A and B are shown apart, each in its own frame.
Chain A
Amino acid sequence: MSTDTDTDAVGQLEHALEELEVSLERVSAADASERLAALLTEPAIGVKLPFEGVSIPESVTTEPTAATLADAQTGITPATFAIAEYGTVAIESRAAGDEPISVYPEHHIAVVAASDIVPDLTGGFDRLADRFAAGGDSIVFATGRSATADMGDLVHGVHGPGEVTVVVLEDR
């Protein structure tokens, strides 16, 4: 993927996220840890990030217990890929605990490499089909904030996060 395409993809993702009232942060791998530390609200929990040169801030608990999960204000997970057209991040449901960490805390921060942004749903399903073929077959497409209109008006942050931030690693 060329740099231009990357830029376009990030821009498209940002645009889609704006409509969902989700902020997108562009950051280099070297600055990612510092930016994450600034974005999170403590107590925070997270999953080790699989991107080269990116470490999760020290204030983040990476081996949460049930109690820290219940108390956490922020949960940080990687996104395996993102779908620019819809503003979707793909969160794996795996042993490291991405699924509960992304859904229990009020604020979810998803970290995605710019090279993992696909343009549309078909691109997403291409990635998904590859993962399924390789045996990784539990994943969540998360788009925007948890919402309900069941109580008479639209309210965000029901069972899932009321605030979502997508951090794009521009050089990854």
Chain B
Amino acid sequence: MAERSHASGQSEGGGGGGTASHTPSNSRAETAAHLRQLLETEGDAIHAHTSVSNLQRHEVFDETDDLEALRSEARAIKEDAIDRLPALIETVREAVEANGGTVYVAEDAADANAYVADVVDDRAATSTAAESASGRPSVVKSKSMTTEELDLNDALESEGIEVTETDLGEWVLQVADDTPSHIVGPAMHLTREEIAELFTEQFDPDEEFETAEELTRFARDHLGERIREADVGITGANFVVAESGTITLVTNEGNARKCAVTPDTHVAIAGVEKLIPSIRDLEPFVDLIAKSATGQEISQYVTMLSPPTESPTLTFDEPDEPIGANTDAETNGSTDREFHLVLLDNGRTEMRADDQLRETLYCIRCGACSNSCANFQAVGGHGFGGETYSGGIATGWEAGVHGQDSAAEFNDLCTGCTRCVDACPVKIDIPWINTVVRDRVNRDAEPEAYDFLVDGLTPDEESGGLDLGKRFFGNIGTVAKLGSATAPVSNWLGETAPVRSLLERTLGIDQRRELPSFERQPLVDWFDARGGEQESKRRAAAGRRAAHDEPTDALDREVVLYPDVYTNYVDTDRGKAAVRTLEALGVPVSVPDLPESGRAPLSQGMVTTADAQASKVYAALAEDLDAGRDVVVIEPSDLAAFQREYERFLPERSFERLRDNSYEICEFIFGLLENGANPAALSTAGGGGERIGTENGDDGQPIAYHSHCQQRTLDLEAPTVAVLERCGYAPRTSTVECCGMAGSFGYKREYYEVSMDVGDRLASELEPASTDLVVASGTSCGDQLETLLDRTVPHPVEVIAPDRGW
């Protein structure tokens, strides 16, 4: 079995704020080494499982007509339930007690564990269950992440209680003394071969284990015996219906059913956030949870028990007594069942009071955020996870239940790509939670460093606080401006070995990554030198005349092209292509010098800086918006800031105004073409407009297109595909959720290899023929693909622009 290092790589909590993120280069190297090992030992197995679940989720989501309504309904139920949580706790207490059970609200892990140990000891003393082999009190468990959070197994075992996990994945981990790598498939990092080897060594069978079938049969028999002997069955709960005291268990194996009803005592352990008001409220969750988790329409078993149930107890050491012999016939119910519902707080009340972390409590733990995350697919939960929880939402859970240090260990693996936003069945803004926690980690590192940043960056100034690399990337606009002003010297310098070494040591920029090359003349200056708005109006009018377009209202537009940092200083070609394309379609353009969107500081968790940028951008655009001009954006991540994060920074009316009047460049072009603009002026696959109108793309020229992650979340991949098709191409898109570059992520020394691993999968999926064009909408996607495919990867608008450069 491959050696595993994650145990030593995990936070042990505490540590006085010592996080990987703000310690110097040796810590970056340690993180890099830890992740490298996970890539090598667990990455392939994790990727195989998570990518399949993710694809199946996409399929079943696409097939579900009322998906959005279901997600909204589920979200609303959770919002309401968390809002009136204290009342629901009282409601469920009354319901469970009326049913004949007990409710215990545990303040923290120690409290919960002590209560459960007492219940087990009491029952074992009077139990009618078969004696376990050891004679010790025995417990069988079904899978429960909440009991992982409690470290319940260790706590019970230290009290002399025998604990057996009966979910096969959890049992494998128990045998291997390993920890879950995924909240739904806890052992998915282990291959069948590794499990077979482990079991053969551990259980010494007559013949070595080989197939999954053999392993499963063995596990079923072995665990079946444990279940029959157990004094107490412990389950978690996916949902708890307050009004009826109903525990809902969503499983595929059937072990939870057996654990709940075979022993005469059932303990269900659930976080308080699992409460929902009524049985009716359960429906959208039952409909969504399996779809989100594995892409199944519904799980094999949705068990809804209002214990103590009437189901007969099973006493296997009295084999010839009819089952249910202990049942009181007159009441038609079981008289000897005992039920305890342990509701766990462990930080949840504080999360509920925290406006930023509260959303975490809506989580139904389906793992969709893990499956949809390119970085998670690469390293799994032993890298992208804290003490208990893993994946995107884990930052919220870990910060809430184990503390910020546990979240800080892995929080930087969230690149804010937002692919989990579409995946989450309860619409949690998971990237935002990651941003907020990153911000808090930054602040805790050195509070005074933060104020300084708002004023601007001086990258060479030493600071003991906030990670220098984060400061650098968070202020990339200032850096780019400086780089452009001093180009080409800045570009030459940037490629020298001493400078690269310095950048790696101080800022954590990996030497293997090619740096962007700054243009001497920014796009804004090019546009001014070309004659500014007047010239653009002249060209647009000429374009319209050439196309013989009758100016209709729909086409009578004026565009403000947003000069994002990369388009303005690094990749001016795509900006020029956008200007030429819009003009050729009859639309005049202006390219004013506008403030940075705040995307860069957001990605580093510098929320206050981003907030200030949002106000500056809106102030600079307000007049244009009032004048009815459209804001067109090339870099999808900046558009995503306008359309998603700005909601948190701007007054509602301002946000809506900018959101409703801002467009991704190809989305805007598609709108023009749909409204009758004449595409004859554009460059097409056949050249000169000959093949325009190949709408189905069947006989178009092959082109590989990677849309940007945040663009996909805005539902804006389709317009680019449609525009390419109209220009005679047959676009092929990728299923890989993100390119792995993700702005600054791929530059960072500790994440370079993860970034390349994710990028490799994208490159091999696109697998372009040598003659195929490859295009990408995002700057970093393009950079990543240029490196991996060793060819030019332009923006789609560069391919369709008139007078294109190749």
Q: Does A137 contact B (CB under 8 A)?
A: yes
Shortest CB distance A84–B (Å): 12
B 279-299 contacts with A by CB, 8 A? 279-280, 282-283, 286-287, 297-299
- Given A150-B169, A159-B220, CB of A121 within 8 Å of CB of B287: yes
What residues on A are CB-neighbors of B244 within 8 Å? Answer: 132, 137
Q: Does B696 contact A (CB under 8 A)?
A: no
B306 partner, pick from A67, A122, A137, beta carbons under 8 A: A137
What residues on A are CB-neighbors of B258 within 8 Å? Answer: 103-104, 159
Q: Digit string of B265-280 for contact with A (CB within 8 Å is 1, else 0)?
A: 0000000000000011
Task: Decide if B311 touches A140 in the complex (CB within 8 Å).
Answer: no
Q: Digit string of B299-313 for contact with A (CB within 8 Å is 1, else 0)?
A: 111111111011110
Q: Digit string of A61-89 for contact with B (CB within 8 Å is 1, else 0)?
A: 00111110110000000000000011010
Question: Within the assembled complex, what's the spacing in Å between the Cα atoms of A100 and B192?
Answer: 30
Given contacts A95-B332, A152-B191, A159-B227, 20 further A-B contacts (CB under 8 A): A65-B322, A97-B312, A97-B323, A121-B298, A132-B244, A137-B246, A137-B279, A138-B246, A140-B257, A143-B300, A143-B301, A146-B254, A148-B169, A148-B253, A152-B215, A153-B212, A157-B220, A159-B166, A159-B257, A160-B257
Task: Decide if A139 touches B254 in the complex (CB within 8 Å).
Answer: no
Task: Decide if B306 touches A138 in the complex (CB within 8 Å).
Answer: yes
Q: Digit string of B314-335 for contact with A (CB within 8 Å is 1, else 0)?
A: 1110111111100100001110
Task: Decide if B301 touches A138 in the complex (CB within 8 Å).
Answer: no
Task: Decide if A158 touches B255 in the complex (CB within 8 Å).
Answer: yes
Shortest CB distance A15–B (Å): 12
Chain B residue with the shortest CB-CB distance to A62: B322
Q: Does B167 contact A (CB under 8 A)?
A: yes
Q: Does A34 contact B (CB under 8 A)?
A: no
Question: Within the assembled complex, what's the spacing in Å between the Cα atoms of A85 and B64?
Answer: 12
Question: Within the assembled complex, what's the spacing in Å between the Cα atoms of A160 and B771?
Answer: 54
Shortest CB distance B473–A (Å): 39
Task: Decide if A150 touches B172 in the complex (CB within 8 Å).
Answer: yes
- Given A66-B316, A67-B319, A97-B312, CB of A148 within 8 Å of CB of B261: no
Task: Decide if B192 touches A140 in the complex (CB within 8 Å).
Answer: no
The winner among B168, B216, B227 for most chain A CB atoms within 10 A is: B216
Shortest CB distance A74–B (Å): 16
What residues on B are CB-neighbors of A145 within 8 Å? Answer: 300
Question: Within the assembled complex, what's the spacing in Å between the Cα atoms of A121 and B334?
Answer: 30
- Given A70-B316, A93-B309, CB of A148 within 8 Å of CB of B252: yes
Shortest CB distance A146–B (Å): 4
Question: Within the assembled complex, what's the spacing in Å between the Cα atoms of A139 and B262?
Answer: 16
What residues on B are CB-neighbors of A69 within 8 Å? Answer: 314, 323
Task: Decide if B298 touches A100 in the complex (CB within 8 Å).
Answer: no
Q: Does A39 contact B (CB under 8 A)?
A: no
Question: Within the assembled complex, what's the spacing in Å between the Cα atoms of A65 and B324?
Answer: 8
Q: Does B421 contact A (CB under 8 A)?
A: no
What residues on A are CB-neighbors of B298 within 8 Å? Answer: 86, 88, 121, 141, 143
What residues on B are CB-neighbors of A128 within 8 Å? Answer: 279, 304
Q: Does A155 contact B (CB under 8 A)?
A: yes
B310 partner, pick from A66, A138, A147, beta carbons under 8 A: A138
- Given A141-B302, A159-B255, CB of A148 within 8 Å of CB of B216: yes
What residues on A are CB-neighbors of B561 within 8 Å? Answer: none
Task: Decide if B261 touches A160 in the complex (CB within 8 Å).
Answer: no
Q: Does A1 contact B (CB under 8 A)?
A: no
Main secondary structure of the interface of B (DSSP, over half): mixed
What residues on B are CB-neighbors of A98 within 8 Å? Answer: 311
Q: Does B219 contact A (CB under 8 A)?
A: yes
Task: Decide if A159 touches B224 in the complex (CB within 8 Å).
Answer: yes
A160 partner, pick from B253, B282, B310, beta carbons under 8 A: B253
Task: Decide if A147 touches B304 in the complex (CB within 8 Å).
Answer: no
Shortest CB distance B801–A (Å): 48
6 contacts between A and B (CB under 8 A): A66-B316, A66-B323, A70-B319, A125-B283, A146-B301, A148-B252
Q: Does A37 contact B (CB under 8 A)?
A: no
B 225-274 contacts with A by CB, 8 A? 227-228, 244, 246, 252-255, 257-258, 261-262
Q: Does B223 contact A (CB under 8 A)?
A: yes
Q: Does B185 contact A (CB under 8 A)?
A: yes
Question: Within the assembled complex, what's the spacing in Å between the Cα atoms of A121 and B64?
Answer: 13
Question: Within the assembled complex, what's the spacing in Å between the Cα atoms of A104 and B297?
Answer: 24
Q: Does B145 contact A (CB under 8 A)?
A: no
Task: Decide if A140 touches B172 in the complex (CB within 8 Å).
Answer: no
Shortest CB distance A60–B (Å): 14
Task: Decide if A99 touches B257 in the complex (CB within 8 Å).
Answer: yes
Question: Within the assembled complex, what's the spacing in Å between the Cα atoms of A103 and B253?
Answer: 10
Q: Does B187 contact A (CB under 8 A)?
A: yes
- Given A151-B192, A158-B216, A159-B255, CB of A65 within 8 Å of CB of B320: yes
- Given A138-B306, A152-B191, CB of A144 within 8 Å of CB of B279: no
Task: Decide if B318 touches A66 in the complex (CB within 8 Å).
Answer: yes
What residues on B are CB-neighbors of A154 within 8 Å? Answer: 212
Q: Does B213 contact A (CB under 8 A)?
A: yes
B283 partner, pick from A122, A149, A150, beta carbons under 8 A: A122
Q: Does B722 contact A (CB under 8 A)?
A: no
- Given A95-B312, A129-B280, CB of A160 within 8 Å of CB of B262: no
A 83-141 contacts with B by CB, 8 A? 85-86, 88, 93-100, 103-104, 121-122, 125, 128-129, 132, 137-141
Chain B residue with the shortest CB-CB distance to A86: B298
Q: Does A142 contact B (CB under 8 A)?
A: yes
Task: Decide if A147 touches B253 in the complex (CB within 8 Å).
Answer: yes
Q: Does B577 contact A (CB under 8 A)?
A: no
Q: Does B364 contact A (CB under 8 A)?
A: no
Question: Within the assembled complex, what's the spacing in Å between the Cα atoms of A27 and B3?
Answer: 57
Question: Within the assembled complex, what's the spacing in Å between the Cα atoms of A148 and B228?
Answer: 21
What residues on A are CB-neighbors of B578 within 8 Å? Answer: none
B300 partner, pick from A139, A146, A153, beta carbons under 8 A: A146
What residues on B are CB-neighbors of A94 within 8 Å? Answer: 309-311
The winner among A125, A148, A154 for most chain B CB atoms within 10 A is: A148
What residues on A are CB-neighbors of B709 within 8 Å? Answer: none
Chain B residue with the shortest CB-CB distance to A45: B323
Task: Decide if B261 touches A100 in the complex (CB within 8 Å).
Answer: yes
The winner among A70, A95, A121, A128 for most chain B CB atoms within 10 A is: A95
What residues on A are CB-neighbors of B257 within 8 Å? Answer: 99, 103, 140, 159-160
The winner among A65, A104, A125 for most chain B CB atoms within 10 A is: A65
Chain B residue with the shortest CB-CB distance to A154: B212
Task: Decide if A93 touches B168 in the complex (CB within 8 Å).
Answer: no
A95 partner, pick from B167, B246, B311, beta carbons under 8 A: B311
Question: Within the assembled complex, what's the spacing in Å between the Cα atoms of A129 and B257?
Answer: 21
- Given A64-B323, A146-B252, CB of A159 within 8 Å of CB of B305: no
Chain A residue with the shortest CB-CB distance to B310: A95
What residues on B are CB-neighbors of A95 within 8 Å? Answer: 310-312, 324, 327, 332-334
Chain A residue with the shortest CB-CB distance to B172: A150
Q: Does B738 contact A (CB under 8 A)?
A: no
Task: Decide if A150 touches B280 in the complex (CB within 8 Å).
Answer: no
Task: Decide if B309 touches A147 in the complex (CB within 8 Å).
Answer: no
Return the 5 tightest CB-CB contacts between A and B, nearest first: A152-B192, A160-B254, A67-B319, A150-B168, A153-B212
Q: Does B152 contact A (CB under 8 A)?
A: no
Q: Does B195 contact A (CB under 8 A)?
A: yes
Task: Decide if A70 touches B310 in the complex (CB within 8 Å).
Answer: no
Shortest CB distance B748–A (Å): 34
Shortest CB distance B210–A (Å): 11
- Given A99-B311, A100-B311, CB of A150 within 8 Å of CB of B185: yes
Chain A residue with the shortest CB-CB distance to B256: A159
Question: Within the assembled complex, what's the spacing in Å between the Cα atoms of A6 and B795?
Answer: 56
Question: Within the assembled complex, what's the spacing in Å between the Cα atoms of A60 and B688?
Answer: 80
Task: Decide if B320 touches A67 in the complex (CB within 8 Å).
Answer: yes
Chain B residue with the shortest CB-CB distance to A139: B304
The winner among B300, B315, B318, B321 for most chain A CB atoms within 10 A is: B300
What residues on B are CB-neighbors of A139 within 8 Å? Answer: 304
Task: Decide if A86 touches B297 in the complex (CB within 8 Å).
Answer: yes
What residues on A are CB-neighbors of B300 within 8 Å? Answer: 142-147, 160
Shortest CB distance A46–B (Å): 13
